[in-house]
């Protein structure tokens, strides 16, 4: 896996990333840090990527279990340390999973498996952050 990040130049803190899979994304800083608020902050991207990793796992686990999952949303809320490096210290994953006849136990198991076994992003962040989860199952 690889990614190349290029700085946009001396007029700000915009960075453009090109991933090994051929995708492009941007990151920027807050105005008080020299940025122009044109894109997500790098740490927002870390949090977002972790949510994507976990949601991917949950959907895949439910599909492999032949459950009729039709939607999955995860909202992450996080706290960071006050001092540099301002690592994440707490992250809460609030999953809302929609489907037809989805057993709550199956959804909770999928979330737990993601956290304990499959999601490499949350496994890394768990080294500094207390990670918690909640699940809501909605009938489609």
- Indicate whether 73 and 112 sit together in one domain: yes
pLDDT at 64: 98
> Residues 56, 48: contact at Cβ < 8 Å?
no
- Indicate whether 13 and 79 sit together in one domain: no
pTM for the model: 0.93
pLDDT at 122: 96
- Indicate whether 73 and 29 sit together in one domain: no
Average pLDDT over residues 95-118: 97
**What is the phi/psi pair of residue 132, to 5°?**
-125, 160
- Indicate whether 27 and 51 sit together in one domain: no
- Indicate whether 81 and 106 sit together in one domain: yes
Residue whose pair of structure tokens reads 């999973």 in the numeric block: 97
| Domain limits for position 15 | 3-33
> Across the chain, which distance is largest between two alpha carbons, in Å?
55
Ordered alpha helix ranges (H), the chain: 42-64, 104-113, 120-125
- Indicate whether 13 and 61 sit together in one domain: no
pLDDT averaged over the chain?
97
What DSSP line would sit under 16-37, residue for residue? Answer: EEEETTS-EEEE---GGGT--S
Average pLDDT over residues 55-79: 98
- Indicate whether 101 and 77 sit together in one domain: yes
Residue whose pair of structure tokens reads 């800083």 in the numeric block: 29
3-class state of residue 59 by DSSP: helix
pLDDT at 23: 97
**What is the phi/psi pair of residue 128, to 5°?**
-125, -15
- Indicate whether 15 and 77 sit together in one domain: no
How many H-runs (helices) and E-runs (strands) does the chain carry? 3, 6
Give the DSSP H/E element, type plus range, for residue 78. strand 68-80
Q: In total, how many domains does the chain have? A: 2
């Amino acid at each position: 896996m690889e990614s190349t990040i290029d700085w946009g130049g001396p007029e700000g803190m915009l960075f453009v990333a090109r991933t090994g899979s051929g995708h492009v994304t941007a990151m920027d800083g807050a105005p008080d840090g020299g940025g122009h608020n044109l894109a997500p902050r790098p740490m927002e991207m870390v949090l977002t990527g972790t949510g994507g990793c976990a949601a991917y796992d949950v959907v895949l686990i439910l599909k492999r279990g032949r459950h009729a999952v039709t939607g999955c949303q995860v909202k992450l809320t996080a706290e960071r340390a006050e001092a540099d490096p301002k690592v994440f210290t707490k992250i809460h994953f609030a999953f809302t999973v929609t489907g037809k006849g989805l057993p709550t136990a199956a959804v909770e198991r999928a979330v737990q498996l993601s956290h304990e076994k499959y999601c490499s992003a949350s496994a890394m962040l768990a080294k500094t952050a207390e990670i918690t989860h909640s699940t809501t199952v909605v009938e489609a």
